[in-house]
Structure 1
Amino acid sequence: MDIRQVDLNLLVIFDAMARLRSVNRTAQAVGLSQPATSAALARLRALFDDPLFVRTGTQMEPTPRAQELAPAVRRVVETISTEILAPAAFEPATAQRCFTIVTPDIGEVSFLPPVLRQLRQEAPQVQLRAVAKPREAAAAALESGEADLAVGFFPDLHKAGFFQQGLFKTSYVCIACARNAQAPSRMTLRQFLDARHIVVLPNGREHLLDRFLADKGWRRHVTLELSHFMSLLALLPGTDLIATVPEDIATVVGRHVPLKIIELPFRAPRLDVQQFWHRRMQQDPANRWLRGLFHSVNRREPGMPLAQPPGSR
């Protein structure tokens, strides 16, 4: 028998008949008319070359062949109903899964702490893996399923095949060591360009500020290029270097080392911080839950700063 020639709906009729032993009750259970149910029963008899169910008194009793088939048919019907056709679900409280998030180190220090606090309460066995990716690799990681979500500033992902959701808008500030006597509270454009700059290019990616300055034809005096924002913790103190960084980085660095905030001589561009996912994951319950979690704990109103961690003053 070729399975391609079998109407699987017939197995539903068979299962109901095996349990109910009545054409009328079977018709009601499966939502068919009595003639349609009788016709399906005739097709089953032809399919298995056996009477299958024979009237005995007021009931349709199964033949030995039907008795032999009944347990296997029941398993098939239950499997299709409960495992194949049942809506997909994700239970955070009991889930044991590792999600991969594409984000630079700014994301690790800004977005992950509140997420981890929420995970402890809502999904204690769920793990997170944060990875940094070059510009062209972030899209590929989401497309292939290597990563579940990208969180941060990813202008490259504003394209077909990807969804995005805004978290907040932010901008840049200029920071220096609090003991840097050469750094005024406000700089002229010439002072800014001539100062000794640390520039951070995570994974070699230029920032929106770099393109902004290039479009203006302004060129900074760059003393040091870094790949990680958190290296500023060690490299700013005790030097005359300055760095123009996203506001969250200034907030985090300022929690560990004394800083001086320098007013920029221009209006810095705004950053749209968003989360991105591939369209393959749009309806996935686990990914929907993850997106909801990141949005709920990291969404900010305009002008709202990065929250202090619990226990800090």
Structure 2
Amino acid sequence: MEMRDVDLNLLLAFEAMLDHCHVTRAGEAIGLSQPAMSAALSRLRTLLGDPLFVKVGTRMQPTARAQALAGPVRRVTATIRAEILPSDGFDAATSERVFTLITPDIGEMIFVPPLMAHLSRQAPRVRLNVVSRPRLAAAEALSGGTADLALGYFPDLDGAGFFRQQLFENRHICLLRQGHPAVRDGRLTLDDFLACQHVVVHPDGREHVFEQHLQQLGVQRQVVLELSHFMSLMPIVDSSDLVATVPRDLAELCQRYAAVQIVEAPVSSPVIPVCQFWHRYAHRDAAHVWLRAQVQSILARPSCPEAAR
């Protein structure tokens, strides 16, 4: 097979099938009738020598070959849209674009509410799809075009091809129930901190930054409970003497909804840069530029550097 044998419109058809897993809906998404979309799918199958999508129930599920091609095809179409085709601008007031954001559950609590409030006013038809991904999977999703932005702490997204813009810096503090016996005059000493029992959150595929910091310092806590989600902390800390050491913005959110108090950690806390990350394939896309500007205006705090590669 030669390059001249490839009709780029077939890549759009393939991408639409990945998005919708339904022949009719995929055709509608790219302006093709059902027969035309079926013909395009038939040409793809012949060209690539694979069924690509097989009917399972009411959906057309991608085969292993189609899944392997998903990333490369999305990179090609994203590059054409962002770097070859002229931009017609982006009308936020009328756009029905769906943006996919990668952020852990802490990001869903901190970032999504103000973003949605802003979008409801400025871009009422725009939709957000918020997902959680381990760090390596986040890089693949951004480079493959299945996600637009990653929001949070992603130190691995610092290689060639990725851009980042710092939104703010975060530090860890201690979260305890109101009236906790270890807190005296609003302070928690190191001895009391070490004497307390602790709860630690280990999100899937992401390490606990403060725990790594303690290990480097040779400080050992009594961890009696490990969780996968930050959202579980509020009722647990509220109803026990367990201590949670968490990013400050999360602690401040918990304080709004539970009878908990915030106390400075008696151990030095590493600075956590919270950023938005994107891949170079989307760097010039007008809609993507608009989205990044909204994130920066809503979520950034003072002294945030410009985007850097």
TM range (shorter): 0.5 to 0.7
**2:74 aligned residue:** none
CA distance, structure 2, for counterparts of residue 266 and residue 182 of structure 1: 15
User: When the two structures are superposed, what TM-score results if normalisation uses the length of structure 1?
Assistant: 0.67
**2:194 aligned residue:** 193
**1:146 aligned residue:** 146
Q: Secondary structure, in 3 states, of the residue corresponding to 1:140?
A: helix
Q: Secondary structure, in 3 states, of the residue corresponding to 1:125?
A: coil
Letter paired with 1:219: Q
CA distance, structure 2, for counterparts of residue 87 and residue 264 of structure 1: 49
Q: Secondary structure, in 3 states, of the residue corresponding to 1:147?
A: coil
Q: How does 1:1-313 map to 2 (within 5 A)?
A: 86-184=86-184, 185-301=186-302
> Deviation at 1:89?
2.1
Q: CA RMSD in A?
A: 1.9
CA distance, structure 2, for counterparts of residue 132 and residue 239 of structure 1: 29
Letter paired with 2:278: W
CA distance, structure 2, for counterparts of residue 121 and residue 195 of structure 1: 46
> Deviation at 1:263?
2.7
CA distance, structure 2, for counterparts of residue 231 and residue 105 of structure 1: 10
Change in CA separation of 1:117 and 1:235 when aligned onto 2, cut-off 3 Å: same
> Deviation at 1:86?
4.3
Change in CA separation of 1:85 and 1:204 when aligned onto 2, cut-off 3 Å: closer
Residues 182 and 188 of structure 2 are in contact (CA less than 8 Å); yes or no, is this contact kept in structure 1?
no
Mean Cα deviation higher: 135-144 or 202-211: 202-211
> Deviation at 1:90?
1.7
Q: Secondary structure, in 3 states, of the residue corresponding to 1:113?
A: helix
- Greater CA radius of gyration, 1 or 2? 1
User: Can you give the 5+ residue segments of structure 1 that lack an aligned partner in the other structure?
Assistant: 5-83, 303-313
- Identity of matched residues, %: 46
CA distance, structure 2, for counterparts of residue 210 and residue 93 of structure 1: 44
Q: Secondary structure, in 3 states, of the residue corresponding to 1:169?
A: strand
Q: Secondary structure, in 3 states, of the residue corresponding to 1:163?
A: strand
> Deviation at 1:265?
1.6
Residues 252 and 262 of structure 2 are in contact (CA less than 8 Å); yes or no, is this contact kept in structure 1?
no
Letter paired with 2:170: T
User: Can you give the 5+ residue segments of structure 2 that lack an aligned partner in the other structure?
Assistant: 5-83, 304-309
Mean Cα deviation higher: 232-241 or 174-183: 174-183
**2:71 aligned residue:** none
CA distance, structure 2, for counterparts of residue 101 and residue 282 of structure 1: 15
Residues 173 and 250 of structure 1 are in contact (CA less than 8 Å); yes or no, is this contact kept in structure 2?
yes
Residues 106 and 248 of structure 1 are in contact (CA less than 8 Å); yes or no, is this contact kept in structure 2?
no
CA distance, structure 2, for counterparts of residue 142 and residue 194 of structure 1: 43
Residues 96 and 126 of structure 1 are in contact (CA less than 8 Å); yes or no, is this contact kept in structure 2?
yes
Render the CA deviation track for 1:240-273: whole Å, top value 9, x for unaligned: 1010000111011000112122332222111111
**2:61 aligned residue:** none
